[in-house]
């Protein structure tokens, strides 16, 4: 479904997915983060040849928005009824065909804490062993909450060395190199999967104790070891440089705009301090999670200003909104205006946190795509295809479809079919 948007310079979908977008919406980047410190990340460690290759394929405009699909992990983790492995894999494979550039696929958490994630190892193995068809290179993300979870994920990656890359830019480079060497031109299913890892902390002490069984300071000490060890895992060399690249690591911070135990007044400066700690540990991206959905436009703006004041660049920030109070898209607009270009969403509005009583699902991917494209932004995501997936997966697990856009699209189709 294509939306009636104003004319924009649309980059090719493959080009759009080679790196995280940057710059700002309505305001020049220099006006927002001119004095921001630049933290060393995995991307900055890649040698000059590879960096130049990636820069050559960067999006030409500020209109591209990177959507991270969290349905297979965050969307399903709170479901009480066990979901078959085959259903989870089918969900991932269907989503891969829609143009989504990143899919959060599982979590290496202890099954006693989150039973629904107990087959994440099999999911990672499937991603590495099978060429999942996709129109663009895809990064598959897995949470590793501690060193044990990391070790379990690392063991699988080691068994499949050479079957994955560290960044979608490397997947594209490898496909282009194969073509240059006289091999058959890359088909949609021939991209190597990128793999990235994620850790998560909390912005409030109460939620940290409930979710991680420790205070914030202790959790950060533990994650320092996890990130350091994760950065020692290197993926197959990209064709341009021949230098192994460390995996990307995303750091989530939960309850940044409200806590189920401490209320909505979370200190944005404290969030920025935690984010700065993560960046200095080597994290490549900070995902700010409104776990409870309590966030409002003014407090979202204050939070992003605090992040900028702490020296964290917009391109290193992602926003993760839950739609408990119907404010997710309002807060997304605030993020866009500030210059954020990476947003999480979940197909069908699936989600909820086992440690956040009353919190409902993530903002629906269907709603996010429609909203962004109606503003003239480019997501590269097929809204019709995502709508079909939302209807299918909610039916499979016996949940209501919480995407208003998805239901509207399905309704419009039904009316058209009767004409």
**Positions marked catalytic:** 353
For 88, the token pair is 């989870």
Cβ burial 260-290 (10 Å sphere, 16+ → b, else e) = beeeeebebeebbbbbbbbbebbbbbbbbbb
Task: Give the number of other Cβ atoms within 10 Å of residue 191's Cβ.
Answer: 26
Contact (CB, 8 A) for 362 and 349: yes
Residues 6+ away with beta carbon under 8 Å from 413: none
| Helix/strand/coil (H/E/C) assignment for every residue in 176-203 | HHHHHCCCCCCCHHHCCCEEEEEEEEEC
In the block, residue with structure tokens 């060429």 = 131
Q: Is the separation of the CB atoms in 46 and 241 below 8 Å? A: yes
Determine how β-strand 194-202 pairs with β-strand 248-254: parallel
E strand segments, 224-345: 234-235, 245-246, 248-254, 285-290, 317-321, 342-345
Structure-block tokens of residue 156:
């699988």
């Amino acid at each position: 479904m294509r939306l009636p948007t104003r004319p924009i310079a649309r980059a090719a979908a493959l080009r759009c997915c080679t790196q995280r977008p940057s710059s700002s919406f309505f305001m020049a980047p220099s006006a927002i983060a001119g004095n921001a410190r630049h933290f060393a990340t995995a991307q900055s460690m890649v040698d000059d040849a590879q960096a130049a290759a990636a820069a050559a394929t960067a999006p030409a405009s500020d209109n591209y928005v990177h959507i991270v699909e969290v349905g297979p992990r965050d969307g399903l983790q709170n479901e009480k009824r066990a979901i078959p492995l085959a259903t989870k894999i089918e969900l991932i494979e269907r989503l891969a065909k829609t143009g989504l550039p990143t899919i959060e696929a599982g979590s290496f958490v202890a099954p006693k804490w989150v039973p629904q994630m107990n087959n994440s190892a099999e999911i990672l193995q499937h991603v590495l062993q099978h060429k999942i068809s996709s129109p663009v290179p895809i990064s598959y993300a897995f949470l590793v909450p501690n060193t044990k979870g990391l070790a379990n994920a690392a063991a699988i990656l080691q068994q499949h060395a050479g079957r994955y890359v560290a960044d979608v830019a490397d997947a594209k480079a490898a496909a282009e190199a194969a073509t240059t060497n006289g091999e058959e031109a890359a088909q949609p299913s021939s991209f190597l999967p990128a793999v990235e890892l994620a850790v998560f902390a909390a912005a409030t002490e109460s939620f940290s104790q409930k979710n991680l069984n420790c205070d914030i300071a202790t959790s950060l000490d533990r994650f320092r070891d996890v990130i350091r060890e994760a950065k020692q895992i290197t993926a197959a060399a990209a064709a341009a440089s021949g230098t192994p690249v460390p995996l990307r690591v995303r750091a989530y911070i939960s309850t940044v705009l409200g806590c189920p135990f401490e209320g909505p007044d979370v200190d944005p400066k404290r969030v920025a301090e935690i984010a700065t700690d993560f960046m200095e540990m080597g994290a490549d991206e900070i995902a700010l999670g409104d776990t409870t959905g309590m966030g409002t436009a003014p407090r979202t703006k204050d939070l992003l200003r605090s992040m900028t004041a702490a020296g964290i660049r917009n391109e290193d920030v992602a926003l993760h909104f839950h739609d408990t109070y119907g404010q997710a898209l309002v807060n997304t607009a605030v993020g866009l205006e500030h210059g954020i270009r990476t947003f999480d969403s979940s197909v069908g509005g699936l989600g909820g946190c086992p440690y956040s009583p009353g919190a409902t699902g993530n903002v629906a991917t269907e709603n996010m795509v429609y909203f962004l494209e109606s503003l003239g932004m480019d997501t590269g995501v097929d809204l019709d295809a995502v709508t079909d997936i939302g209807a299918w997966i909610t039916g499979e697990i016996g949940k209501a479809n919480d995407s208003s856009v998805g239901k509207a699209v399905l309704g419009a189709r039904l009316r058209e079919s009767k004409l």
